[in-house]
Structure 1
């Protein structure tokens, strides 16, 4: 890392937030060079190093673009993996989402679409083959309804009828980020940068906009999921039933996961899953009524 940055590291600022169990920090060297470092080993979590390897492959294939982070270096000893990424002097959009920030991020997703369509990334998995939230996990909710608010039991069958379409809805061959949330975006004075590409998939090109709309419910927003779906340039011509299918599968999966033990070194995941599931309930309540 110091070799790549051209000098010894003199300042380290720990970064908090996100779901990764490994260390993350902004570093600065004696000569003023700066970068962002994140790392994880299998002793912390057995799956996270592979996510970092996947992110390294994706970032390494990207050309320079204002909306994409630049990968500077990778360390991988077979156990620990560390990524050195350009330093971004900014912060995630404040939560709950503000309208102007949603517009900026949606515009960035459209701007970067042509770049993603042209990039060649070997081994990028298909969402239809590797997205249990939309394919299988939602089915587990049926056996855990007694652990949850009765709302989930009352609406289970109707939600399931929409969730079963989610696998077809996500089908596609476009490169997508697949994890667009407020904490996976960094806004600087003149850039909107999409970060944390470890979940990237091949899927329908409009899916990142759909994830942004769902995050209006999951993170909170002054713009509702339904309003963004009606007004966003990419979403407004979609069948509303497609977003309902995604939201149904996601909410059922999060509700189910909220009843499970926390994975290794991810103690907050059940609580976060519960919050996301509950956040989607108002949208689902209205959308289910509209589609009856």
Structure 2
């Protein structure tokens, strides 16, 4: 069975936006937009497009109203703040402008960054691109430890805990106990991207750029890699445990902490997979289910469960 891709669908497009929003973005970039290429990847109904300007420059812009998606609007505002604080050494897009705009269509959250000349890795994964992605996890960890600015700890997010209490499994008591260790397992002083996947990663001729930063938080250095591996494995990247154990960051992790993280991730994804569909994002629940199943199989292998 083909694994679901990280494409939520129903993105707004440049031509869907009112002229007042066009005008805000054109003032921010100092040029008239003559072309727009929508970027379909990711789970957001916001506009996300590479814009071509009359003078030949290109920029990347996101925009959405709170009425269309309060969550997406909040994510754009958080990402604006994160990008404004990231030091130049971090491989992330440079922020050009971010702010709010109110018109008859609603309360808009808008962000404009540089347009990265790059491409997302092929899915299923190709060996060279996968190698570059896995190497990038170390670069991110080294670039963002210690964190360059204060941020909430990943353990402060209440969505990650208590999920196994709503699920069933032959080893439920053990899963609940492992999930209880999430806070201690993830404690650290690194700034994490928080959502490292192929659709948030651009390969370039000289390196890579990581995009989509609203989930940035504090935690242990190796957590971004672990969060990424369920999606890597389900899209043909190989066995998650083999990828993990071969990676330099795995040598920094206590095995018990790894199991606690895997139990928590599996519970988080599987509990969300059975919630009602998200309006405008019909594929999200299947994507969460697939990641949860990979994480649970990975944990089962480590624990010797049948």
Is the 1:6–1:31 Cα contact (8 Å) retained in structure 2? no
Report whether the alignment pairs 1:110 with 2:138: yes
Q: In the TM superposition, what is the alpha-carbon distance from 1:131 to its structure 2 partner? A: 4.9
Report whether the alignment pairs 1:172 with 2:172: no
Q: Deviations over 1:214-269 (max 9, x none)?
A: 3333x423332101221101113423332222122111222121111123433322
Report whether the alignment pairs 1:139 with 2:165: yes
Distance 1:259 1:267, change over 3 A: same
Is the 1:66–1:191 Cα contact (8 Å) retained in structure 2? no
How far apart are the structure 2 equivalents of 1:121 and 1:60?
11
Report whether the alignment pairs 1:128 with 2:155: yes
How far apart are the structure 1 equivalents of 2:110 and 2:251?
40
Report whether the alignment pairs 1:14 with 2:38: yes
Q: In the TM superposition, what is the alpha-carbon distance from 1:102 to its structure 2 partner? A: 3.2
Match of 1:61 in 2: 85
Q: In the TM superposition, what is the alpha-carbon distance from 1:90 to its structure 2 partner? A: 1.8
Given candidates 61, 64, 69, the residue that maps to 1:37 is: 61
TM alignment of 1:58-207, pairs within 5 A: 58-65=82-89, 67-77=91-101, 79-117=107-145, 120-122=148-150, 124-133=151-160, 135-141=161-167, 145=168, 153-207=169-223
Q: TM-score, structure 1 length as denominator?
A: 0.86
User: Which one is further off, 16-25 or 40-49?
Assistant: 40-49
Q: In the TM superposition, what is the alpha-carbon distance from 1:18 to its structure 2 partner? A: 0.6
Structure 2: 5+ residue stretches without partners: 1-24
**1:205 alignment partner, SS class:** coil
Q: In the TM superposition, what is the alpha-carbon distance from 1:140 to its structure 2 partner? A: 2.5
**1:235 alignment partner, SS class:** helix
**1:80 alignment partner, SS class:** strand
How far apart are the structure 1 equivalents of 2:117 and 2:48?
15
Q: TM-score, structure 2 length as denominator?
A: 0.82
How far apart are the structure 2 equivalents of 1:237 and 1:203?
13
Report whether the alignment pairs 1:209 with 2:225: yes
Over aligned residues, Cα RMSD in angstroms? 2.3
Distance 1:203 1:174, change over 3 A: same
Q: Deviations over 1:172-203 (max 9, x none)?
A: 23211111111111112212111111000011
Is the 1:92–1:183 Cα contact (8 Å) retained in structure 2? yes
Q: In the TM superposition, what is the alpha-carbon distance from 1:118 to its structure 2 partner? A: 5.8
Structure 1: 5+ residue stretches without partners: 146-152
Is the 1:37–1:82 Cα contact (8 Å) retained in structure 2? yes
How far apart are the structure 2 equivalents of 1:37 and 1:130?
28
Distance 1:245 1:100, change over 3 A: farther
